[in-house]
Amino acid sequence: MAEGLAAVRSALMRKNLNVDANEWRNSVALTGHVSSWEQYMEAGYAAAGKGYEAVVNDLTVEGVVPFKPSMPEPQNPIDPDTYFDAVVIGGGVIGSAIARELTRWDITVALLEKENDLAMQTSSRNDGMVHPPFAVTPGSKKAHYNQRGNKMFAQTARELGVSLEWPGMLMLFSNPWQRAFLPAIWQRIKQNEVCGVEFWNRQRVFKMEPNITADQHGGVFLPDSGIVSPYQLTVAFGENAVQNGATVLLNTVVTGFQMEHNRITHVCTNRGLIQAGVVINAAGVWSDVVAGYANDRFFTIHGRKGTAAILDRKVGHTQRTILSQPRFASHSHTKGGGLVPTIDGNLLLGPTAVEVPEREDYSTNASALEFVFDHHLKLNKSLKRSDIITYFSGVRACTFEEDFVIKTSDYVANLVHAAGIQSPGLASSPAIAQDVALLAVKALAAVAGRAIQPNAAFDPCRKAPPDLRGMSLEERAALIRRNPSYGRIICRCECISEGEILNTIHSLVPVQSLDGIKRRARAGMGRCQGGFCTPLLLEIMAREQQINIAEICKSGGHSEIALQPTKNAAVDCASEGAGSAALALSAANNSRRQEDYNAG
Ligand SMILES: Cc1cc2nc3c(=O)[nH]c(=O)nc-3n(C[C@H](O)[C@H](O)[C@H](O)COP(=O)(O)OP(=O)(O)OC[C@H]3O[C@@H](n4cnc5c(N)ncnc54)[C@H](O)[C@@H]3O)c2cc1C
């Protein structure tokens, strides 16, 4: 290790960074003060890859106040005797998939999520691509899990009743000289065992995509590129976990651990203590902070923000495949983004990749949008800026090693990490969940001193609500005859019925906010972004959940939508009956709605 330390120190010196480096367990820890976030990042990367497992970057940065996770409003306390064999921290796609895998075993499982719904952070703020294992570094954990996860997706989506399509990805050469990279591309395809890849000449590319701009010089087609709704997938994992006995605790923030020797005994939360057999850290951008609660912070997460724009569904038909351009720069940490068809028929433009100190910074700005317009909009000549209906940002949870952290802790017997799950985390999720659940069950068996038996009653198939968009007119008519609520259209833009909204409210993981309905049923996702359906959705929520309309939030916290009754109408629809409320909607919430298409 001493050699590694010398290498780290000289790399830091070469960059003129006045930073101290010391060994900490199997990692290298950086301390000191730097003048900018760029220097913080430079130091982290300079220390990576020098023989240590990971970099712990503890540098303080001029003008950057360490950020804390957002917290929910005070919640009901949890019964102090509560015990779960397995406690999963983080209800993103990774934690939800792990919770489902754990229910294959005869154990009690809890999924703890600090926000008011599943998929509120990175898992709802991404491109929804099931990447082929092309852009990942050969031999990395990312490559391993991307490859396995991609292969598992078809079966997983079938079991969960989640729509999945395989439009394939066309990596376009916008200059003739880019073809010189073909040998390197073929080598990568071989190393990562990417299946069915073909080189397409200009004619074939135009035959498949007649709307692409003229200055294209052929491209590489990767058929194993899929698309899925990331939040519907996450919720489906969560619902199937609940169906198999798991408990989902929303608005529940893990704030620390109680330890005995090298073991976590209790998980401390904003709602009290939970006794735990084994703990799984799937806390996304906060996973290093959660590891730190058990004195096991051997890696550092830094946020890499991605901004993307969504185009109107009316231009969705202008493209069949995912269009992208290859990234050849060795320092590039993005797959490059592109023009991606979504499973719901929109096109998605982006994302960018910008290092940010704030891990929950979901703001969008003009320069990020200019970047995606300049780089990607031009690929399809039938698109205009005015086709954009909204935009959003997400933050990737990256380590300086640029790889996933998937392992049982070396120092805490009952802690398993599923951390640093940046892209392609969604594509890798089924495979990550499989391995992490096995690690957790092994750790649980060891600390509990008992064999863990499979759950004979486990059912991998989610009881999914009817998917009206996949139905013929006859099937729809038959469904409406059985249940007329499927015939009452609430969201005109997306043609979403009351029945579909009721399914989200009465789901196994019920929605708690307007954005929850939007993510799950698509009501409010269309061109008008909820302008017409919001009052109707509020009335339905109030009626079904027996609450006052003024209590309903757009997205948790204090994001109440209705301010006061107008025209003498009653705000309390639960008691007055739906349909009567004339509402004063919060202007702040209306403008925010424009910004965040995906998660709010
Ligand atoms: C712009 C963008 C585009 C992307 N596109 C793709 C793509 O096309 N394909 C792909 O495969 N991947 C993509 N990714 C990556 C993918 O989104 C992530 O890999 C994946 O969502 C990570 O899931 P996660 O569950 O680890 O994290 P998250 O979804 O962030 O979940 C972690 C959860 O933990 C919760 N949490 C944190 N701390 C606590 C605590 N103390 N207590 C309780 N709960 C806590 C958080 O609230 C959060 O919900 C993209 C990412 C971005 C940003």
> CATH code at 189?
3.30.9.10
Question: pLDDT of 382-412, one tens digit each?
Answer: 999 999 999 999 999 999 999 999 999 999 9
Q: Which atom of ligand 1 is nearest to the CA of 283?
A: 34
Orientation angle between helical segments 230-243 and 425-448, nearest 10 degrees: 30
73 within domain boundaries:
no
Asked whether 391 lines ligand 1 (CB < 6 A), one says: no
What is the average pLDDT score of the chain?
92
Domain match, 320 and 178 both = yes
The partner residues of 391 in beta bridges, in order of sequence, read 309
Q: Between residues 576 and 139, which one has the greater pLDDT?
A: 139
Q: Which atom of ligand 1 is nearest to the CA of 427?
A: 11
Domain match, 54 and 133 both = no
Q: Tell me which residue has tokens 């009052």.
A: 535
Which tokens belong to 84?
């779960």
Contact 414, 275 (CB under 8 A): no
Torsion sign across C-alpha atoms 179, 183, 186, 187: negative
Collect all residues with Cβ–Cβ distance below 8 Å to 370 and sequence separation of at least 6: none
Give the integer Cα–Cα distance in Å for 176 and 453.
Answer: 59
Give distance in angstroms: CA of 427 to centre of ligand 1: 12
Domain match, 496 and 583 both = yes
Question: pLDDT of 407-466, one tens digit each?
Answer: 999 999 999 999 999 999 999 999 999 999 999 999 999 999 999 999 999 999 999 999
Asked whether 122 lines ligand 1 (CB < 6 A), one says: yes
Give the integer Cα–Cα distance in Å for 48 and 43.
Answer: 9
Contact 558, 513 (CB under 8 A): no
Beta carbons within 10 angstroms of residue 480's beta carbon: 16
Q: Which atom of ligand 1 is nearest to the CA of 90?
A: 34
131 is catalytic: yes
The partner residues of 34 in beta bridges, in order of sequence, read 61
Closest CA to 145 of 420, 461, 442: 420
Domain match, 122 and 210 both = no
Q: Give the mean model confidence (pLDDT) for residues 128-153.
A: 97
Domain match, 99 and 122 both = yes
Give the integer Cα–Cα distance in Å for 503 and 498.
Answer: 9
Domain match, 95 and 158 both = yes
Collect all residues with Cβ–Cβ distance below 8 Å to 64 and sequence separation of at least 6: 37, 40, 357
Host domain of residue 219:
169-223+308-385
Domain match, 147 and 269 both = yes
341 within domain boundaries:
yes
Give distance in angstroms: CA of 508 to centre of ligand 1: 21
359 within domain boundaries:
yes
Domain match, 444 and 481 both = no
Supply the residue whose CA is at minimum distance from atom 9 of ligand 1.
129
458 within domain boundaries:
no
556 within domain boundaries:
yes
> CATH code at 40?
3.30.1340
Domain match, 55 and 136 both = no
Domain match, 318 and 275 both = no
Using DSSP bridges, classify how beta strands 169-172 and 219-222 pair: parallel, antiparallel or unpaired. Answer: antiparallel
Which range (292-301, 302-311, 437-446, 463-472) has the least confidence? 463-472
Asked whether 396 lines ligand 1 (CB < 6 A), one says: yes
Supply the residue whose CA is at minimum distance from atom 21 of ligand 1.
123
Asked whether 431 lines ligand 1 (CB < 6 A), one says: no
pTM, two decimals, is 0.94
Mutate to test the pocket of ligand 1, among 88, 122, 513 (most ligand atoms within 8 A of CB): 122
Mutate to test the pocket of ligand 1, among 123, 302, 405 (most ligand atoms within 8 A of CB): 123
The partner residues of 302 in beta bridges, in order of sequence, read 398
pLDDT of 291 above 70:
yes
Give distance in angstroms: CA of 307 to centre of ligand 1: 14
Cα 311-315-319 angle, rounded to 5 deg: 105
For the chain, percent of residues with pLDDT exceeding 90? 84
296 within domain boundaries:
yes
Which range (38-47, 280-289, 292-301, 579-588) has the least confidence? 579-588
Supply the residue whose CA is at minimum distance from atom 27 of ligand 1.
284
Our count of domains for the chain comes to 4
249 within domain boundaries:
yes
Domain match, 231 and 219 both = no
Question: pLDDT of 245-278, one tens digit each?
Answer: 999 999 999 999 999 999 999 999 999 999 999 9
- pLDDT score for 592: 40
Give distance in angstroms: CA of 94 to centre of ligand 1: 8
> CATH code at 157?
3.50.50.60
The secondary structure of residue 504, as a DSSP letter, is: H
Give distance in angstroms: CA of 123 to centre of ligand 1: 4
Asked whether 291 lines ligand 1 (CB < 6 A), one says: no
Give the integer Cα–Cα distance in Å for 556 and 415.
Answer: 30
pLDDT of 169 above 60:
yes
Q: Tell me which residue has tokens 């491209």.
A: 219
Give the integer Cα–Cα distance in Å for 499 and 505.
Answer: 10
Count how many residues are written for the chain. 600
Give the helix/strand (H/E) hosting 338.
Answer: strand 338-341
191 within domain boundaries:
yes
Closest CA to 426 of 14, 146, 210, 85: 146
Domain match, 297 and 446 both = yes
Residue 79 phi/psi, 5° resolution? -55, 125
H helices within 161-194, ranges in order?
A: 182-191
The partner residues of 502 in beta bridges, in order of sequence, read none
Contact 245, 185 (CB under 8 A): no
Which range (13-27, 338-352, 507-521, 550-564) has the least confidence? 550-564
Cα 237-238-242 angle, rounded to 5 deg: 120
Asked whether 282 lines ligand 1 (CB < 6 A), one says: yes
Which tokens belong to 63?
């003008």
- The CA–CA distances, whole Å, from 141 to 149, 172, 185 equal 12, 27, 20
Catalytic residue among 33, 131, 333, 558: 131
